[in-house]
Amino acid sequence: MFLLELNNIKYNYNTAIDSNFQLDIDSWKIEKSEFVSLLGPNGCGKSTLLKLIGRLLSPVDGRIKYSGIDIIEIPLKEYAKLISYVPQNNYSIFPFSVYEIVLMGRTPYLGTLGFETAEDKRIVMNALDVMGIADLKSKCINEVSGGEAQRAFIARALAQNPQLILLDEPNAHLDIEHQISIYELLNKLSANQGLTIISVSHDLNLIGLFSQKIAFMINGKISIQGNKKDVLTEENIKKIFNVESTVIFSNEKDLANILIQPVNKN
């Protein structure tokens, strides 16, 4: 049984700006513990797809199943214990501390009175430690750097103790060191703790190093999907992004480096 299964999913944006766009996913299946990257040009539907899985949006047709159960049949509070979501743009209009932001990840587990337990506090501190921001716990979320805030929101997602984490460009606002460290952490959580990861990214080299499977989207559809070595090819990169590239796979490990060729405008 697949952990996540999407069949015949359709979603329309009813706006004057983009009234013709339709997300149309025939079939997409994710197995437990997989690290899957979702790639494609801007506006192809990647973020929308994550929001549908996270139940922030509802499809107009089709079914999304989690462990064989239609997700609309799972109570929201229980679903929040299974899946966490880190959106592309995080901000807070209230001056919460970094600690309070991460503590929000424990909301599905709080009792009727809404008070956190010693175990909740331990989990929050562990998430802060894992993301390397424990020293910022008392800082206002709006006073830390963009990269530090991004790590706080990822820590909040980890504090939910999910089985599946959805990340929309988790490397946004991060310097190179922290981009690599976060992907290394996610890869370790997937391998050692069975965490399933779906990550939207535009960084071909990061996904070439860490992802196991890749799905390329274009015009609201999943055009190409499969194992990294089969999917991450120069031909597919040209088809999806309209750029020339050289893909180099390591002989010893399933790692890929992608060299993008400059566009000749002469």
What are 43-76's pLDDT values in tens digits? 899 999 999 999 999 999 999 999 999 999 999 9
In what helix (H) or strand (E) does residue 196 lie, and over which residues does it extend?
Answer: strand 196-200
The interaxial angle of helices 118-130 and 146-159, nearest 10 deg, is 140
Q: Enter the pTM of the model.
A: 0.91
Of 136-150, 169-183, 197-211, the one with minimum mean pLDDT is: 169-183
How high is the pLDDT of residue 127? Answer: 94
Is 229 part of any domain?
A: yes
Is 265 part of any domain?
A: no
Is 113 part of any domain?
A: yes
Domain count, the chain: 1
Q: What is the mean pLDDT of residues 161-178?
A: 89
Is 132 part of any domain?
A: yes
Find the DSSP H helices in 44-203: 46-53, 76-82, 98-103, 118-130, 146-159, 176-193
Q: By three-state DSSP, how is residue 56 classified?
A: coil
In what helix (H) or strand (E) does residue 63 lie, and over which residues does it extend?
Answer: strand 61-66
Q: What is the mean pLDDT of residues 138-158?
A: 91
Does 265 score more than 60 pLDDT? no
- How confident is the model over 74-97, as pLDDT tens digits? 999 999 999 999 998 777 778 899
Is 201 part of any domain?
A: yes
| Residues 154, 73 contacting (CB under 8 angstroms) | no
Distance CA 252, CA 263 (A): 31
Is 177 part of any domain?
A: yes
* Percentage above 70 pLDDT, the chain: 94
Q: What is the mean pLDDT of residues 143-172?
A: 91
Range of the domain at 172: 4-260
Is 251 part of any domain?
A: yes
CATH code of the domain containing 156: 3.40.50.300
Distance CA 96, CA 87 (A): 18
Look over the chain and give the mean of its residue pLDDT values, rounded to a whole number: 90
- How confident is the model over 209-255, as pLDDT tens digits? 999 999 999 999 999 999 999 999 999 999 999 999 999 998 766 78
Is 266 part of any domain?
A: no
